[in-house]
Amino acid sequence: MQQIYDDIRGDFRYDNELNGCLNCGICTATCPAAHFYDYSPREIVQLLWTENVEQIYDAMQEKIWACAQCMTCAARCPFKNSPGGLVAIMREVAIKHEMQSAKDVLRPFGRVMLKLITTGNQLSPDMIQPDHFPDWGPNIQKVEGDLSVLRKAIPVKTLQTVETAWEVSLKTSVEMYTIWEMTGVLKSLELMDENLFDVIEDFIDEKREEYDEWLEEQEDDD
Amino acid sequence: MKPTDQNGSPDAGIAGHGSFFQETNLSREEAVRATDWVRKHVDRRTVDLGERMDDVREHMYELEKEGEIIIHRITDGHEPMTVKTLFGWEKKIPTKQLWHHKSCGQCGNIPGYPTSLLWFMNEFGFVPGKDYLDETDQTSCTAWNYHGSGIGNVESLSAVFLRNFHQAYVSGKQHGHELGHFFPLVHCGTSFGNYKEVRKYLIESAALREKVTKILGKLGRLVDGKLVIPEEIIHYSEWVHVMRNRIASELQKIDVSNIRATAHVACHYYKMVHEDAVYDPEVLGGNRTAIITSVAQALGAQVIDYSTWYDCCGFGFRHIISEREFTRSFTMDRKIRVAREEANADVMLANDTGCVTTMDKNQWIGKAHDQDFSIPIVADVQFAALACGADPFKIVQLQWHASPCEDLVEKMGISWSEAKKNFQEYLKEVEKGNIEYLYNPELAYGGQA
């Protein structure tokens, strides 16, 4: 528990995001998550400010995942605190310590994570189909038709895609893999969801091979 | 000095009452003079902040002088226009030679955002490949994932930022231009906020710079062994803001004075690194960011205020995917209902990806709770394009919206049914391979315009 708190406090952003607290509550008054959840940015700041290690740990079980990360709290705070920024640090630490709350939260995120890590794009047209979002209603779009044809009717070449938001070059995706590896993102993913990590690893190997082959072809052409 | 009462007690208040209170016996003229400063409109853009607020750009210039980084400068070639930000600082907005940094949410879900923007650039006579570039060599900023899941960290966000912006810096070379020819124009509000945040961290932390320099070195994305950092981070809506008068005077074809517009400015545009957001004394009294409102006013629309103007849309990053009951409840209750009941708005204008998606897609479900409110949701640039005669389907791509955009289009005097019929005919041409483009597609792959 103490280690978790030390990791939060040890983040280099911490002193930038926490400068004191008047307990005025304007952050909570303007917080969208506070409308619907048992969540208060003022409480988060207070727990950290008073070094209440036990309750910080409790807040990381659930509360920190309520925050909508809009940063209204940060814009309003007379002390220039950023409760939303502190929550971001706490989420990272929850992942680092393999907390169950983080695993539960990440499960529905799997599809986005797979898309992001493998392509460098977070979202794609084929993800935003009516069967994925029944609550968006029957008229999710105003012209029926084959998705690939509708995408080709966008007059911008990079956007005529279905499986990614825009066409990302292979070289670009491969560069992203290096970033994920060197910054410990893949390691975090492995801690959180081993199955998803395995799928992603296979995909990355395949893409790297594809890129190497392409490079060889280029050399042969020269 | 601590106030005391007439007996010397240090516990007296300073509220002008109590036993220590004494009449000043000022004449009327003296009293007026003494309180004149209270009556003055105090403009925070004229307040001297002293050391209370740091301008990260000053530290950037120092780092450049010390040979640590290269700043991707805004030059005369970018034809910049200068605006004022929250504290009256100046910010240069380049208007030309722009590298489109696309948004995953816009491209994947609201493609009329980027198409309207590129269409405007063409309408102004910009030459693709010289005055702007849209290419495949870029990734998402990855901040949506970070804010939603916590997977990712400052190093990964910084490395992605530097990778993409390095590409912007060198992208002109393959088209025969100098390094730095194209300046990045960030389409997404969250990318914009995130990039500003990580730029600040990079400037403040030598340890972070050291870590990411290794990564960028491995990627071959250093210039003379140095990191490339942009002089300014620019959001597309800032470009729309500085071009608004040209849009209205040179391109506007439709009178929109009958349109009641409400604005929803993205939280990540003006609440993250808030000192960088654009404010204009002529727009909303300079008390709120000028973005969106300024272009709606320039076009002559009626901009109507509403009590939850400052509220978030409810997107939540994580919530839009896995806790949509929060997202739809918040957006219906705090944005759509209020804009409908208080402002009787014909349209809600936004300047970000998640906001448009959230407010556009979550109206239908409100009926389940007798919240039968609906408002067309479009971006500022889409509304402006419609007002300038852009095709509602081919260019503004309203077919991807769920909210009743047909009501807005009809109120603007454009026939929705006619435009839809024409578009469906065009789809047959698309199937045959007869596609209309805003620029030569080869440009996207490094080919010539």
pLDDT digits (tens, 9 = 90+) for B163-205: 999 999 999 999 999 999 999 999 999 999 999 999 999 999 9
Average pLDDT over residues A58-73: 95
- In this model, does residue B39 exceed pLDDT 70? no
Which residues in chain B are contacts of A33 at CB distance < 8 A? 316, 326
| Pick from A106, A136, A150: CB nearest B361 | A136
Average pLDDT over residues B67-96: 96
pLDDT classification of B95: cutoffs 50, 70, 90: very high
Which residues in chain A are contacts of B196 at CB distance < 8 A? none
Q: Of residues B7 and B113, which shows the higher confidence score?
A: B113
pLDDT of residue A159: 97
Instruction: Tell me which of B18-22, B319-323, B324-328 is least confident.
Output: B18-22
| Pick from B104, B214, B312: CB nearest A70 | B312
pLDDT digits (tens, 9 = 90+) for B136-155: 999 999 999 889 888 899 99
Q: How far, CA to CA in Å, does B297 sit from each of A132, B259, B318, B410? A: 38, 11, 34, 20
Q: Are the Cβ atoms of B137 and A171 closer than 8 angstroms?
A: yes
Instruction: Tell me which of A198-207, B9-18, B39-48 is least confident.
Output: B9-18
**Statement to judge: residues B258 and B225 lie in one domain:** no
**Statement to judge: residues B295 and B159 lie in one domain:** no
**Domain A1-103, what architecture?**
Orthogonal Bundle (1.10)
- In this model, does residue B8 exceed pLDDT 60? no
- In this model, does residue B279 exceed pLDDT 50? yes
pLDDT of residue B67: 95
| B324 lies in some domain | yes
| B295 lies in some domain | yes
- In this model, does residue B15 exceed pLDDT 90? no
pLDDT classification of B322: cutoffs 50, 70, 90: confident
Q: How far is CA B355 from the centre of its chain?
A: 11
Q: How far apart are CA A33 and CA A45, in angstroms?
A: 15
pLDDT of residue B2: 45
**Statement to judge: residues B229 and B264 lie in one domain:** no
A179 CA to chain B: closest CA distance, Å? Answer: 6
Which residues in chain B are contacts of A110 at CB distance < 8 A? none
What is the pTM assigned to this prediction?
0.92
- In this model, does residue B346 exceed pLDDT 80? yes
Residue B311 sits in a domain whose CATH number is: 3.40.50.11810
- Asked if residues B92 and B276 have their Cβ atoms less than 8 Å apart, the reply is no
Average pLDDT over residues B208-232: 98
The total number of structural domains in chain B stands at 2
pLDDT classification of B14: cutoffs 50, 70, 90: very low
Spell out the residues 6+ positions from residue A31 whose beta carbon is closer than 8 angstroms to its own: A39, A40, A41, A68, A72, A73
Domain range for residue B167?
56-236
Q: Copy the structure tokens of residue A182.
A: 């060197």
Q: Are the Cβ atoms of A179 and B147 closer than 8 angstroms?
A: no
Domain end call among B202, B236, B270: B236
| Residue B417 identity (one-letter amino acid) | S
Q: Are the Cβ atoms of A175 and B160 closer than 8 angstroms?
A: no
Average pLDDT, chain A: 93
| Pick from A141, A156, A165: CB nearest B399 | A141
| B44 lies in some domain | no
- In this model, does residue B19 exceed pLDDT 70? no
pLDDT classification of A206: cutoffs 50, 70, 90: very high
Q: What percent of chain B has pLDDT over 90?
A: 81
